[in-house]
Structure 1
Amino acid sequence: MGPHASAGLAFALMFSISIFFTLINLRKHGRRYLPKNRRWSLLGRRAKWIWMLVLAACGAISCFMSIDVDRDYVVNSPLILQSVFYTILTPVMMAVVWEAVRHWGSWQERQILDRDPYAFRKSSTRKGQEFVLPILFYGLAIANFFLTVPRSWGAIEMQRSLEQQMTDAKPAATDIRWRIASFLAMGGVLVICYSLEHSIYRYRIRPTSTWGQLMFYINASPSQFLVAIVLLGIKIGYAIASAFDWTVSPLKYGVNSGWIFGLGYTPPLLLLVLFNICGHCELNDDQAIISQRGELDNAVADSMGVGQRKPSWWAKGRSFVRELRRQSAQKDTDEMDRYVEMGIIKPEEQQQQLRNDQAPGPKPEAQITTRTASQGSEGTSLTAVESGSESAPRHVEYVTHSEGLSRCSSDDPTAVHPAPQTARDMIDG
């Protein structure tokens, strides 16, 4: 193998290894940790990583084919396969950078709406621009693809001699379609730059200083996007140059390896490395939202004085208050027990029984009152006599008169009895 094949093998291995790390990041950033929301779909997060897988696969296939191009003595299909997959790298690389920038803008909007759902109630052209920009970009990328890939590649294979290169391969590799496609790709880069500027303008706070406002879009842009746009610009710049200059064209058999590998394969490979490193360092969007919600709750709690650590004297003061409350409660309990023993406060069972005894209603027993008079004193005794439940109660009264004792009985409870004579009446009489 010559130097061209050796470089192709090394780049093919690096493209293949990048697929492994891209799959890890796809799994990391493509998972959902919050309830499903139609506005923030998983496809928007996964699109960048899916395009990166396509970019790595096309780069690996094209570099593997370069090994056969260097080994074959007769130019045939390996050169065509290398050229086809190399050409696909340009629109796919554009899609990778576009999806990264678009998702970043969507991520900024999501963070703002999560803190304040009414932040974008004011009518503006924001939604209209965010609807038109993806259509415009993918229109340019698809146009670039159809102007370069679906074509007759037979003329590119005719490079078995210098004369064939000049008469067949060169006109096919530098025709008007290649030139238009390269400028359309440059238009796609401009759309990406405008989308990044739009996201910064809508979702970033503008500084107040004059110098800060002049450098606002540069300072507010993530560094990875600035590097990615530069790498994409190098790739498209080389495509424009090769569309006009046959000597540096990647479609030429025997082109200098520095041109095709330095300006053709290195930018997409560095882009894969850049985004994989940044993806490894960044959090999943849902996890970042959960973390920000926790920080917001903590900030609100701190502003309200909730959850703050108390000073050392706070615990001692609370212990002293608890001891006072315990002693006061013990004293009240002791006094309550003493009042119950003295009869000042009756237990609950006795109070309940007393209330039941005083309740109105028929009494199950009748009473007979007996009064006897003696010299200077009067005694009264109560005797309970059972009475039937059906018969009327019998009232018997013993009254002492001056003439003697007389017994008055009646079965009628409503009967009128003479008033009993007291001891003073008997003495007076």
Structure 2
Amino acid sequence: MLFARDVIPFPGGDNSSDTILGGVHFNLTTLEHWNYTLYSNNTVSNGSWCYLTFERWTADLLLENGTWVNGTKCWSPIDPIGVRAGVGIGFSVLFGLSLVLTLVALGRRWQWYWAIWTIATALISLLTVMDVDRYYLPELPIILTSFFWFLMQMGAMAIVWEAVRHWGSWMERQFIDPDPYALREDDTRSQIEFYLPLVYYLFWWLNFFLIVPRSWTAIQHQRYPEQIINDAAPTATSARFKAAAFMLVICWFLTLASLRTSIKYYRPRNRGIINRVIGFIKFTPMRFKILLPLAAAVPAFQALVAWHFDFSPLKVEGNLPAIYAGGYLPSLLIIYVQAIFGFLNPNEDKELQHQRQERTLQLNNEMGIVPKPTWWKRINGEMVNPNESMRDALVRNVREIQGNKPRPTNPDAIPGGDGGVNNQVRDVEMSPLPSPTYRQQQTPSPTIPSPAYNGKSERRRQERAMQAAAGMLFPQSSSEQASEAARRRAELVMDGPPPPPPPPPAVAVVINTPPPPYPDSTTQERRPSMQTTGSAATSTNQPPQRIRSMLDV
């Protein structure tokens, strides 16, 4: 309750230098020395200090140095809670309940984060309203409740914007999930969706900078009617507050433009202006049909209080129905609508998985594929172990390609085997190579070894290396290796150069032994011919001809 601030004389006391304030005697000379003045609202002040002068709150003593003993300053919460504070407590309870619902329905979208921001700022603003009523003269609480009220308004607008924008993102995800190339990345749609959020938050932050970074001291100057008219009202209705409200109006129209863009590109198109308007209303979700009018009320009320101070939350004794109905109720309803539809609407990621399953079933029906039940894989040993390693996954894939079924092996037959899941199959690729000690302990294999190549042919050296790698990756049985070696030798004999011709049988009978099959390009010897000539002894005593490689032929 505000009082008229009129200067009144100090009441008389026992003598000319004594005065009585609230039943306590004070030295009038000391009061006048420190330039204290008595006002009609039962306060005494010198411009720097202000103290109450009525009973129960009056100081016990005033020292000569101007110090008040047990004095109560004018800006103290001594009054009971009023109507404004009582209604504010009720709204704070509703906002607190909405915080619980928001946290339960919390998703991965920014609309929920802005909802938490809005609830937090609303609670601070509503709780400080109690001190607005309890303070004998207005001071810091009216500034705090007004400051956080503006932040709450900004958060409510951001909730609606992010809800609309992420609904468009959800429409886009449903388009590109079945076909990643269904939408272009360089068309008008993508440009609008990229730049529109930047433009929106530009005007949103302009609203913030027009309101917050300024001097708020004049708002608390509402201690008497003249001070309200000269200081508080002009500050609360200044050009900056009016321009800030206009920034939120632009933000609301940008939100509407975002919704129109999403409906245009992700919903069936309509021809003609009238059909487009009908289609816009038809394809707008019910949630936005409720949120957009509520969001429009936010900048509308902010513009109203920027022109009319009587309806403003910045006024201590403002119009309470207008303050709570227009200032707090739209933001509260926006949060509750979001929470309710957050429970009703399915999770987007789960819905995408459901759509993928439906597409898979449709494709299987078109191709005549009947998926096997879960128990089929279980009884056939095809169940995938969720804890299997990457190596086991590769082994399982190779086994499925080769058509092999998993079969248990003796862990003692495998070096380091423990009979576990990782040692079920050792006869396919990706099996670990045995250690040198293990190889020494094993008996020689009856398979035909692949000798190391010592020739000069680089091509043959690469072939031998590839054969060795293939043998380790794709092991074969002994019979398969023997047949493969025989096939390889026959192929080399067929493709390689023919053996050198025998010498002409001119003088003696030449006994030639048939040459062995040409094995490969490794170093080997030719069998000399037995000749009965005059130089037979010489030819038999000479060393046999040695072919070092195929390049010497």
Normalising by structure 1, we get a TM-score of: 0.65
SS in 1 for 2:187: coil
Contact 1:22/1:53 (CA < 8 Å) preserved in 2?
yes
1:139 aligns with 2:219: no
Higher helix share: 1
CA offset at residue 304 of structure 1?
3.8
1:24 partner letter:
V
CA offset at residue 266 of structure 1?
0.3
1:328-381 residue CA offsets vs partner (Å, 9 max, x unmatched): xxxxxxxxxxxxxxxxxxxxxxxxxxxxxxxxxxxxxxxxxxxxxxxxxxxxxx
* Percentage of pairs with the same residue: 37
1:103 aligns with 2:151: no
Aligned with 2:214 (options 151, 175, 187):
151
Contact 1:140/1:187 (CA < 8 Å) preserved in 2?
yes
CA offset at residue 208 of structure 1?
7.1
Matches of 1:89 and 1:261, distance apart in 2: 13
SS in 2 for 1:253: coil
In the alignment, what sits opposite 1:302? 365
Matches of 1:145 and 1:207, distance apart in 2: 39
1:74 aligns with 2:145: no
Equivalences for 1:413-424 in 2 at 5 Å?
A: none
1:56 partner letter:
I
Aligned with 1:10 (options 65, 84, 90):
90
Identify the range of structure 1 (123-132 vs 257-266) with the bigger mean alpha-carbon deviation.
Answer: 123-132
1:381-400 residue CA offsets vs partner (Å, 9 max, x unmatched): xxxxxxxxxxxxxxxxxxxx
1:261 aligns with 2:324: yes
Change in 2 beyond 3 A, CA 1:232/1:209: closer
2:195 partner letter:
V
Contact 2:233/2:309 (CA < 8 Å) preserved in 1?
yes
CA offset at residue 214 of structure 1?
3.6
- What root-mean-square deviation, in Å, do the aligned CA atoms of Structure 1 and Structure 2 show? 1.8
CA offset at residue 229 of structure 1?
1.4
Matches of 1:235 and 1:92, distance apart in 2: 10
Matches of 2:276 and 2:362, distance apart in 1: 30
2:257 partner letter:
Y
1:176 aligns with 2:261: no
CA offset at residue 159 of structure 1?
0.2
Change in 2 beyond 3 A, CA 1:211/1:179: closer
Aligned with 1:187 (options 250, 265, 269):
250
Change in 2 beyond 3 A, CA 1:186/1:298: same
SS in 2 for 1:73: coil
SS in 1 for 2:214: coil
CA offset at residue 11 of structure 1?
0.6
Equivalences for 1:273-422 in 2 at 5 Å?
A: 273-307=336-370
1:263-285 residue CA offsets vs partner (Å, 9 max, x unmatched): 00000100010000111112221
Contact 1:59/1:89 (CA < 8 Å) preserved in 2?
yes
Identify the range of structure 1 (220-229 vs 258-267) with the bigger mean alpha-carbon deviation.
Answer: 220-229
Structure 1 stretches of 5 or more lacking a match? 31-44, 309-429
Matches of 2:137 and 2:357, distance apart in 1: 66
Matches of 1:210 and 1:183, distance apart in 2: 28
1:25 partner letter:
A
Matches of 1:122 and 1:139, distance apart in 2: 24
In the alignment, what sits opposite 2:175? 112
CA offset at residue 305 of structure 1?
4.4
Change in 2 beyond 3 A, CA 1:240/1:20: same
Contact 1:91/1:142 (CA < 8 Å) preserved in 2?
no
In the alignment, what sits opposite 1:243? 306
1:129 partner letter:
I
CA offset at residue 300 of structure 1?
2.5
SS in 2 for 1:115: coil
Matches of 1:182 and 1:20, distance apart in 2: 30
CA offset at residue 296 of structure 1?
1.5
CA offset at residue 211 of structure 1?
6.3
Q: Higher relative CO (CA 8 A, sep ≥ 6), structure 1 or 2?
A: 1
Matches of 1:121 and 1:279, distance apart in 2: 30
1:142 partner letter:
W
Matches of 2:172 and 2:93, distance apart in 1: 38
Change in 2 beyond 3 A, CA 1:179/1:209: closer
Matches of 2:308 and 2:104, distance apart in 1: 40
CA offset at residue 20 of structure 1?
1.5
Aligned length: 291
Matches of 1:207 and 1:194, distance apart in 2: 17
2:282 partner letter:
N
Contact 2:184/2:190 (CA < 8 Å) preserved in 1?
no
Identify the range of structure 1 (132-141 vs 111-120) with the bigger mean alpha-carbon deviation.
Answer: 111-120
Identify the range of structure 1 (163-172 vs 279-288) with the bigger mean alpha-carbon deviation.
Answer: 279-288
2:155 partner letter:
V
In the alignment, what sits opposite 2:295? 232
SS in 1 for 2:105: helix
CA offset at residue 105 of structure 1?
0.5
